[in-house]
Structure 1
Amino acid sequence: MRLIPSSNDDATDRQLRLLIGLVVVLALGAAGLNVWYAVASSLPLPNPVLLLLIYAGSVTANRFKVYVRFGSSKNATTWNEIPVLVGLVLLPGPWVVLLTAASLATVKIWTRVAPHKAVFSVAKEVLAVSAAGTVLTLVGQPQPTAGAVILAYLAFWLVDELLFHPVIALASRTGPIKAFRQDLGGRVLTNLVRLVTVVYIIEVVLSDANLLLLGFVPLLVACLYLWQSSRLRTREERSSWRQLADITDELSSVDLNHVLCVAATQGARLFSADEVEIDLTSSGLDRVVRANAGGVTFDGPGPRKYDDPTATTADLETRDRSYRAGLLVLGFYGKVKLTEFEQYKLKTFASAVCTAIRNASAYAELQRLNEQNAFDAAHDPLTGLANRRELYERADAYFAGHTEDGLVALLLIDLNHFKEVNDTLGHGAGDEVLRTVAHRLGSAAAPGDLVARLGGDEFAVLLVNLLTPALATHRAEQMLTALEGSLEVEGMQITVEAAGGIALAPGSGGVNELMRRADIAMYQAKRGGQRTATYAHAQDTADVDRLMLGGELHRAVAEHEFVVDFQPIVDLGSGEVISAEALARWQHPEHGYLTPMQFLETVERSGQLSAFADAVLDQALSAAEIWREASFDLPVAVNVSPRSLLDPRFPATVLARLERHGTPADRLVLELAETLTISQLDVVGRALNELREAGVRLALDDFGTGVSPLSVLSHIPVNQLKIDQGFVGTVETSSEAAAVIRSTVDLARSLHLTVIAEGVESEPQRHALWELGCVAGQGHLFARPMSSARLLGTLQRGSGGRPGALAAPLHDVGAVVRMQRRRSPGSGRTLPHLPA
């Protein structure tokens, strides 16, 4: 993870650069003054041997530091003041400044210190030595005394402190006073020891009489040094234990990531390590976390960075060694050997980290088990889909009003002939089929839909956020289409077939009623050989009134109770009537005016279908004959049941009726339901080809709600596509509905077909359909279904003084450019105009 510095950090960095730059400028000035003084005073070249000794002594004092570890902290002590002050006593100041700068630069280059740090160190040393040399020159003439040396050392120390601590304060983001007071007592004592040593050495150099003290002073210095070291060690140990206790408290977390981050970063601070590495590989988890005091630098799979025998390591295990989490590694850029106290502290820290890891891992496992139990309670163990309980809870949430906007529907899916798979290939193959079906349904589901397995080979999909009921059928068809591809089981290719029942959420009855309705629709689809069926109250076998209609059909046909109304189909651009659709009605003496939805299934099962279809066709052709005699030569469209097409006598009956009424075959349009199954298409294809060759035109009704359009169009050479009114009703507000209509128009254009929109209710809908390329439509905007005589009167009256027109044109004459008429290849039929 890369941290982006804040604006405050940027400001601090600028201040730090400015301060270092100021020190460098002052050092350059001091060096220049020393050079000028040397030139102006004509200083002679000192003894080269003495120069070499001072240079070598300064290099040695800066390179080979005395490291003292108090607790786990490394404190470096240099003795560069000794060669500096000895050189100032024996040599002119400018030479000592130059020698010090050269020796320190040599050491920084030798140890490959960062350039900006090296420049600052050299500049600071030049200023400190210049200050000491100036003081010694002013108060140490003609012969340097002990007092002069002390004052020069104090000047050296003061300048070093004033330059060093402000820079450290800015670099560490702490206050300068706090940085100066940090370990002030220890620095004072250490400098006193150095001062005594410097004075002693200079006295030895200047006076051989002082050689008597040669044995006493080093002993005194060593005692002072050991006393100070012991004092610092005790204080650092106490501070270290307090820090360890604070870190242990911070490790008390149930989040494993937090535990590892704290352990690695705080471990680096606690042991003054350059990096800390935690390796969890031995616990079965391929994970390595590496961090320094600033934060985590790596978190991922191994291997470790510090994987060598010299690395400082500790096993992450409890005190009783009953649990081992991994390995803790302290990374140092140099060789470091921990003291006995540090090793004990490292072992204690590793034990605390191990305990925290175990607690966090146990909590994570408990959370995983709880989540797994909750998942298992709501999902099917074989397929991973939601189970019946989860489906009911989601549906109950809808009925309680806790869902998003839009309609909700239930799609109930049952696989066809699944028992044959189990019986033939075994239950293992059957389970594989069920898992594949579950995967395909899950992939085809829209966002927010819930796919569930209810048991056996029965699945359900809760369809949510539907803008219109027609979209439920559209989504259901998409999901069942996803099941069509074959799959290989036990070396055999198996094709999955299924039937689906769709039910919109009822106003009352809850999820149980929704499930019952979807079940009824599903079995209706199976009985009719359809892929999907939508629940309708008239098709509900629980409706007693529907059962009574079956015994009355013979009387209805004999007494001509079936009548036909006509709804005009209008050119959307001009408003002129271009054809009419015949709509059958049953004028029942007791139940009143019944629509095909209420009686058609009963007719299909009663054996009266042939007589019913012939009566509707006869009335439709009679009406078209009357209109033609009145100078309105309009094609008439008649709906055809799939069961009628299965009758081999049907084509001959249609052609006989056309001949009896003297109606050209191309003035009759047979509307086919898109809910025809693929198996039905193969059977009815012969009948449809016979009718089409005779000139009868074919239309695909309710387009977009049945099986795959390309599957239908590849079997039936239709002339027209009729868009379902569910899409038309939301064309202004639903981008999904508009996309379906647009794709239908594009498909029709590529196949040279006419597109008719059903259910046009308003002028905005008319305009929207026209802009999408739809050429014709029908609906209450133009006229409701009416008798043939009334339709003739309506045509004669017209609209705006235009007979045959039911609406004003959308554009003035000549404002719309239309394509020329063209013929469909191989059909011999003339296609209607399409808007450019």
Structure 2
Amino acid sequence: MSDLWESNAVESGAAFQEEVSRIVESAETLIRDSLGATDVVLIPRGSSKHGDVHLLRQSAFSELEETATRFLDDYLIHRATGASVPIAKTMPHSVDQRQGRDQVICRILLDDDYGVCGSLAVRLPAGDAATGPSSARLDAISAMVSTMLKSVTTSFELEIELIAAQRRSARLEIQTRTDPLTGAQTLGAFEREVRKRLHDSAEACALILFEVENLRSINDLFGYQFGNTYLGLVAGALSAALPDTAIVGRLGGDQFGALVELPEHYNSYLGDVLSRCRDSILRSTATLGRPNLGRTSGGAAVYPNDAANYDTLFELAEGALFVSKRSARGLPTVFAPGIDPRPNPREITRSFKAALAANQIRPYFQPVYNLLTGECAGFEVLARWEDPERGVLMPDDFIPILNDPENAERLTQKLTGTALKALADLGPHRARNLTIAINVTSFDLMNREFAFELQSHLSEVEWLSWSQIIIEVTEKIMLGAAEGQVFRTLEELRRRGARVALDDFGTGYGGLRHLSGWPVDILKIDRHFIGRMLDSDIDRAIVESILHLSEHSDLTVIAEGIETPAQLRALQSMNCAKGQGHLFAAALPASGLADSLESIDFDALNSRDSW
């Protein structure tokens, strides 16, 4: 596009030069014929806005041209300094080495606004130069030539300005259509082009959505400049892996989209495209030399087989992406009828606030038991959405909502307030020593008022204390700088008496570094290690190492995801203090809290071979 504008400007300049040359030639001929001039030279001058126009003359630079040019330069210099200078001058000119036979009249060509259009040098016989008719005719011709030069110069200026405006407009259009960070199309441009492609063609196309995993954590761990470089590599890898006809766009912070044309028999072809994209991203991001990069989830839906319009196609692709994100390996998923009954993220987001106001999103409580005595030590609060049409939705079903700070904080406050009231309903005699673990997000901890808001909830029940509160955070939340707002909020909560639990320990980025530098009281061993420790020596060694670490520190350990009596026995043999899991109880509504306070009979559990 830049070459096109340059070409247009060059063509306009050439046309301008040609038109000026025509005016000069015509004026010189007219003066020569009407005044009987021996020689005529007209030196045009471009406007001050675009600089002087240097007209290429066919003949060699003559003495008369030097005279006209020098007169023009002198006039411009004196005018610029404010000195008074005449616009015409008559001087003798030698002919055959004799002085005084001819005379040269030099005249500055001015337009109606006293703009300088050029200079004119006319050589006349001495006797004709001073006559009234010759002088009058020269004045008239000069005025006419000035008008013509002004007209063509103004036209050229307007044309150049139009070209410049078109160039600026094209540049702005490109900027609005292109994401400056990745070079992919923006969401709006992507949507417009995809809609147009679907409208204009009945050929099969696949709408593919990709989401970069853990982008926020990567930004926190390595910095936003690194994150921007990472996203640029992901976008480049996608474009390189897709056909040249594909439309590629960046749809959000960590999400990309592509529309790919499909052949007649496209099933294996689409699978190959998804695999190529995934492999290309992994290879490209490996050059950054950092761990756990290049992981993406992908979902696709096919036009017109799955949907005949963009909106429905996008929702189906989002649903497939959602399934991909839930899978253990994050493999790309192609939409198929009945692939997943869960609503897509757009539907969830639209109905979230109404559901929260209607108390459809409620706290459920998973008991945590002392693995030595069997007594209930407390509860972890988990969110459940009791939707009248879709049934009970798990947190993973509405995780996209938590990407919005307002929604995340509103959910935390709602669950916290309701959970503390449910605990209070048990009464001080049964609940005074029970703990309540609250899962919080980074948005909650970035809120400077979070500790005061939690204090407000506690103040509603006289006998509830800060020592009963456990704040559960993931390693991802702790990726920011120590002494930052998240750190300060956790320190404030601990100062008031709450304890901090590091959830899913061993699965994040920071590892043991957080234990020495951050306020942590409790380690929760991720269910992944508990589920595999009986079959994997490495996973068992990890569990044993965490428990050994706790014995030589003030850290408490809670094992998550205990599913079988064999897992329970193994943890008891390792002196694990506390645990939770479906072996004891699934997450319960508030109505089941009282029953969960009964102690667990471990002997009875261990004797049940059906487990």
TM-score category of the 2 structures, normalised to the smaller one: 0.3 to 0.5
Q: Which structure's residues are more often helix, by fraction?
A: 1
Q: TM-score, normalised by structure 1?
A: 0.34
Q: Which has the higher contact order (CA 8 A, sep 6+)?
A: 2
Which structure's CA Rg is the greater one? 1
